[in-house]
Amino acid sequence: MRPKFSVPADGRRSSRPGRAVVQANLTRPPTAQQPRIAILGAGGFIGSHLVPALALRPGARIVAVDVDFDKLPPGLPEVERIQASIRDPGILDAITARADLVISLTALCNPALYNTRPLEVIDAAYTDLVPLVKLCAERKRRLIHLSTCEVYGRRALGADGRPSRRMDEDRTALCLGPVHRERWTYAAAKQLLERVIWAYGRHGGLAFTVVRPFNVIGPRMDFIPGVDGQGIPRVLAAFMHALLTGGDLVLVDGGRQRRSFLYVDEFVNALLRIIDRPDPCQGQIINLGNDKNDVSIRALAGKMVSAFRAQRPGASAPRLRTRTAAAFYGAGYEDSVVRIPSMAKAARLLDWRPHISLTQMLPPIVADYLARYESRVAGNPRARATAPGLP
């Protein structure tokens, strides 16, 4: 199995056109001397919000690349869509030949895959992207790469090894688990690519910014098993799956892990500021998160139940059920308990500070899931059969 764009986040697969179609699209000459932005993974969760935001800008010229565009809104005449994988021969060469700026959103960013499909995770997060970094450096293309807060590892540690509260881009050590704990496969691959990007920036003239997102959530996130994907989605979709099917909300290791949730609209706003500030952001690694939304997964479950029942008052209250990480995700899984970002650099470089609380962001997210999935889940035996909280 070969990983492709944004399947990462969703676990979806789709057919793709032959190389002739891809080449025909790529060789279309530009019609204006406008900066061209290529977005890899444009059809995924983040891309489905970023691409429309960029398309609203005057003179926008966007090349959107992904294996499918199910989540990307229709229309958008400023956007050229190329249905392809970064593994297609010549695709990265052709894209970097045309683009002034490349934004890389691709990865297999689903914890359920890190210790079950580790080789695919490594390829998607590292191996497949090294050629992109090299091409951007050789051709003097600016690269904005989405890494992950996972690179910080088990906990926030200062350079002296002492625990700290917040994860700082320039001072926090990156402390991962042992090799046999394959849950850290994704973080290790992402960290190594960051080091490759950094080295090309320092020694190869690459213009870059690395972004470390902290738990970005919003509409169009992930999939519902048995409906449009298979396997275990990330926590938000897993909880919605249970709510839609009447199952229990499963808390891995009791839901004691804490995360700092950021709404996707504010995340996109920060990305737009990075795009618009190439000089201040050159050679920088930047956290994008919301340290005010630091809550436990158990608390998230409670808030999601409240948001769901506010929109479906007749729904019964689901149970919260605990399972061990090994039982839920399989052997080799472990996790960090707390992830709180330092926001000082983002505030300084971007003049940006998120404000949307978790309580404010959950109702539109729940409404989106209801609109997209409620009718498709009703009476769907596959959706019910794959719900982890049902017998």
Positions annotated as catalytic residues are 186
DSSP states along 276-315 = H-HHHHTTEEEEE--GGGEEEHHHHHHHHHHHHHHHSTTS
Nearest Cα residue to 250 out of 386, 138, 352, 147? 386
Amino acid, res. 120: E
The DSSP secondary-structure symbol of 75 reads -
Q: Which residues pair with 65 in a beta bridge?
A: 40, 82
| Tokens describing residue 318 | 């689901």
CA distance 226 to 218: 21
C-alpha distance from residue 179 to each of 185, 332, 334 (Å):
8, 9, 12
Nearest Cα residue to 187 out of 115, 255, 256, 236? 115
Q: Are 148 and 186 in contact (CB under 8 A)?
A: yes
Q: First and final CA of the chain: distance in angstroms?
A: 30
CA distance 176 to 157: 11
Q: Name the packing angle between helices 130-139 and 185-203 (round to 10°).
A: 20
Residue for token pair 């809104």: 73
Q: Are 26 and 65 in contact (CB under 8 A)?
A: no
CA distance 283 to 228: 38
CA distance 190 to 181: 16
C-beta neighbour count of 253 within 10 angstroms = 18
Q: Are 12 and 225 in contact (CB under 8 A)?
A: no
Q: Are 161 and 167 in contact (CB under 8 A)?
A: no
